[in-house]
Every structure is written in C-alpha cells, then in structure tokens.
Amino acid sequence: MTDDDADSTSDGTPGEPLRYDQARWTEDADTYEPLLAEKTLDTVDVDSPLPDELTRETLELPALAEPELARHYTRLSAMNYGVESGPVPLGSCTMKHNPAFIEDVAATPAGLVHPDRVGETVQGTLELLYRLQDYLGRIGGMDAVTLQPPAGAAGEFTGIRIARAFHRADGDERSEVLIPDSAHGTNFASAAMAGYDVVTLPSGEDGRVDLDALEAALSGETAALMLTNPNTLGLFERDIRDIAEMVHDVGGLLYYDGANLNALLGRARPGDMGFDVMHYNVHKTFATPHGGGGPGAGPVGVTDDLARFLPDPHVRKTDGRYERYTPEGTIGKVHGYEGNWLVLVKAFAYIARLGDAGLADASAKAVLNANYLAERIDYEVPFGPFHHEFVASAGETDAADVAKRMLDYGVHPPTTKWPEIVDEALMTEPTESESKRTLDQLTAAFDAARGDDEAARADAPERTAARRIDQVAAARNPRLSWQALEDV
C-alpha cells in the first residue's frame, strides 16, 4: 500500500482500513503444533541437603533449553499486540508510546540497590525519589507526594485511608464515600476496602456530576467524594469549584482519580481545583509501559493538611542530605518497601525528558487527537465537549462485536460497554502518540467494523492468533493450570 492509499483523501473520506494478519498457528490440523511448554514436563527427584521430612520428593516442570525457550517466547510475543504493534485507543488507559530509553534508564546499575540500605548509603536513590515527589507535586498542584502505592487502585486505597486518618484525628467517624456512577470500578472497591460504605451518585443529564444529587447525598457522614476529572466521558467537571465547596462545607475531602490527568497537563491542576488528595497513574500519564497488565505506580499527592498522614517512610531533604522519615500521623504502609522503583525511575525519566513544554504538548495533542477521531468516525458521541477521550455509541449494534471486528482491521479496539450511561459504549482514547494518518486508519476501522454485515461481526475476529473465544464456557469450566488440563 502506498502512502497515498493509506492516507485519508482530502475530501475527508477515510482510506481503506488496514488488513492485519496476526501470527498464528496453521489452520491445518495435521501440522498444528503450538509450542506448549506443558508437553515437555519433566519430573525430577529432589535431593537436598535438608532433612527429608522438610522437602518435596519430586518437581515436575518443563525442561527446555535456551534455544527452545527463545523460540517459545518469541512466538508468543508474535501472538501479542502492544502499542508498538499499532494503536491501542483503550479509553481511560492512556496507551501512549513508551519511549525506549526509559528502559535503559531504569536498568541503571547504581539504582539496583536493596531497600534496607541505610539512607546515608543510598543518597542517589533518595534524591531521585525526592525529585520525583517534587515534580509530581508541581504537576498536580499538591504539597506533598508519596511514591509508595504500586498502582492507581493502591493509590486510591492509600488516599482513602489518609482521609480516614484525617477525620479520625478530629475524633470524627464518618461512614460514607461518594462516587459517581460513571467512575472506574477500583474507586468503589478501594473505598470499600478502606472500610467505607459506598454511595453511588447518578450522573446528571449532561454526563457530569448532578449538583442536586450531590447536595442530597452529602452529609456529616461524607468522608470523601472521589472524582475523575475530566470524567470517564472525557468531560471536564465545570462546576468543580462549587463541588469542592459543597464537599468541604460538610467536612468531607475531595479525592482526584488521576487516570485522566493526561488531558490536563500544564492547563489545570487538581490542587488548584480544590482537590485534597489525588493519585497519579504513572503508567498512563507518564508513559511507563503497561507490561500486559502491570507493573504501574500510583503516587498520591496531598495538601499540607494531610501530609502528616502519608505512608511510612517519606523522603525529605534536610541540610542538603536526603532522608527517610516517618510522618507523625502516618497511615502505615501500603507496600512492603517503598513502591515500584523500576516504574518510578521510568516516570521520572519521561517527565525530565518532556519538561513543561513537552507535557503541555502531550495533553494538547491527546485532546486534538480525540476530537479529530470523534469528528471523523460515523458514530454518535452523545456527550461533549470532551478532552482526551470520548465515548461513542454503537447504537443498535453490539459494541463488543464492533470491537472484535476492529481487530481484523489491524487496530486494537476501544474499551467497550463502559461507562454504562452510553448505550453500547466505545470509550476511546487515542492519546497524543497517534499521527493523523493512524487516526484515519482507525476511523476506517471503526466505520468498516460497523458497516460490515452482522454475520461478519459475529464471526470476527478471523485474522488474529485466536478466533473468538468463548468466555462463558471458560468461566463455567475453569482450567487455570496445566495440571487442570485434560487434553495434555
């Protein structure tokens, strides 16, 4: 395909969608031979210097040599789709490009130290953590930042534990956390784990917080309101100042879910909007790779009033030296050590590379890309104006089927069927990393997937490593290890 073909035409019709064939095993049953490691299980007798009663008799695992393993994992990687395979416009996930150099930065040997080292001997590590705390504080408009939580959900849990400690310090036992219905599942689960009853707020007509519903839900029992801003529909909560005042008036705290911070870099800061606590998803906003589901990091920023409750230890600078200390009202620990170091260094490297101008540009292009894509695709986008993401509706068509068909057109589909306030939702976040040309290809994939006949969608995907997988059957008969397979 030539460049011209791939590009959209100047009159605005998208080009042909890509065709994409993922690596897969042959269809020919006789020569179908996926490299299944369990077919090479080897049982060894365990001989050990320990007494027999403490040891196992045998160990049964695959025995493969490095050349076989190299091929095994290389083939598996060919059956996996990442951001470097093509666009991954999963809404709320911020699947932006992960710069290659941050991997090398994280591997810096001098940083590979043990966490039990005395602070005096790891001044470099503590300095880097301190600088990252400081960078994140500036970006979020927060007074103090802990790097300990190992993911966004852990950050939420940390933040809500901090809210609890804050209220308790005033002898105030509150029982509720308010969360809009469009929020991410972790918000509800984190608040419940932290010991609160969850009160779900229905969204208003315009997809934002309904101030009347909020007013009705707020009370002396309100420990916190958790908000994502822009919310999962990509909409900025325009009344955020009023919301903050209402929450603060009943003595509650305002929690910011930082999953969508990529929309706002350099343009607005949670701290300035009246948020008291926030988490950052560095694996979203700050480009650390998602690694097939993790690791991430979920630093938490707080205002001065809450800094004394931060997890133990916190890093500070005293007389030019860096030291760990225990905040006086600390909630304790949320990670066995001090968080996901390897991820934190990558985030630091990304922020240090981009600086003010780069960060602001990332947000600007993320928002431009979302607006452009929404404009181009032939789908209804019920709410606006949105920022870095939008939720399109597949209308009468099953969004999950549209997604499966998009796989055949060489792109990863958006997040489907969430948030529920949009029918057959396709929650789409292209990020700043995609070029106009890629967005045009995405547009073609969106439209072709919906334009295809229903049978094609129901049969999709057909060009991927596996055809449609029966998830219901998988859940009905869970087989979670080689040991549970009957067909080995």
Ligand X SMILES: Cc1ncc(COP(=O)(O)O)c(C=O)c1O
Binding span for ligand X by CB under 6 A among 67-75, 147-155, 264-272, 302-310? 147-155
Site for another protein in 441-460 (CB under 8 A): 459
Q: Does 410 bind ligand X (CB under 6 A)?
A: no
- The binder of 426, among another protein, ligand X, none, by C-beta within 5 to 8 A per type, is none
Q: Does 186 bind ligand X (CB under 6 A)?
A: yes
Burial class (CB in 10 A: 0-12, 13-18, 19+), 277: buried
Q: Does 348 bind another protein (CB under 8 A)?
A: yes
Quick one: which of 210, 257, 408, 434 contacts ligand X (CB under 6 A)? 257
Residue with tokens 């068509």: 397
Tell me the two tokens of residue 317. Answer: 């600078």
Quick one: which of 126, 128, 153, 177 contacts ligand X (CB under 6 A)? 153
Q: Does 357 bind another protein (CB under 8 A)?
A: yes
Number of residues located near another protein, criterion CB under 8 A: 199
- The binder of 95, among another protein, ligand X, none, by C-beta within 5 to 8 A per type, is another protein
Closer CB to another protein, residue 186 or residue 397?
186
Cβ pair 433, 427 in contact under 8 A: no
Min dist. Cβ of residue 237 to another protein (A): 10
Q: What is the dihedral of CA 174, 176, 177, 182, to 10 degrees?
A: -170
- The binder of 466, among another protein, ligand X, none, by C-beta within 5 to 8 A per type, is another protein
Q: How far apart are the first and last CA of the chain?
A: 43
Tell me the two tokens of residue 252. Answer: 């509650």
Strands (E), 202-265: 222-228, 253-258
Cβ pair 227, 243 in contact under 8 A: yes
Tell me the two tokens of residue 255. Answer: 């929690």
Pairing of strands 415-416, 425-428: antiparallel
Number of residues located near ligand X, criterion CB under 6 A: 13
Q: Does 312 bind another protein (CB under 8 A)?
A: yes
Site for another protein in 197-236 (CB under 8 A): 198, 235-236
Q: Does 92 bind ligand X (CB under 6 A)?
A: yes
Quick one: which of 362, 377, 425, 444 contacts another protein (CB under 8 A)? 362
Q: Which residue is nearest to ligand X (CB)?
A: 152
Binding span for ligand X by CB under 6 A among 34-42, 145-153, 170-178, 242-250? 145-153
In angstroms, the Cα distances linking 261 to 72, 356, 359, 363, 479 are 38, 15, 11, 9, 38
- The binder of 349, among another protein, ligand X, none, by C-beta within 5 to 8 A per type, is another protein
Q: Does 421 bind another protein (CB under 8 A)?
A: no
Quick one: which of 125, 203, 229, 281 contacts ligand X (CB under 6 A)? 281
Residue type, 204: G
The 3-class secondary structure across 360-415, one letter per residue, is HHHHHHHHHHHHHHHHHCCCECCCCCECCCEEEECCCCCHHHHHHHHHHCCCCCCE
Cβ pair 210, 203 in contact under 8 A: yes
- The binder of 326, among ligand X, another protein, none, by C-beta within 5 to 8 A per type, is none
359 contacts: CB under 8 Å, gap ≥ 6: 139, 265, 266, 351
Helix (H, G, I), strand (E, B) or coil at 123: helix
Provide the β-strand partners of residue 321: 318
Q: Does 298 bind ligand X (CB under 6 A)?
A: yes
Quick one: which of 122, 132, 147, 151 contacts ligand X (CB under 6 A)? 151
Quick one: which of 434, 444, 447, 449 contacts another protein (CB under 8 A)? 434
Binding span for ligand X by CB under 6 A among 150-158, 192-200, 359-367, 434-442? 150-158
Q: Which of 219, 217, 140, 233 is nearest to 179 (CA)?
A: 217
Binding span for ligand X by CB under 6 A among 5-13, 149-157, 206-214, 327-335? 149-157
Residue type, 139: I
Binding site for ligand X (CB under 6 A): 92, 151-153, 184, 186, 228, 232, 257, 259, 281, 296, 298
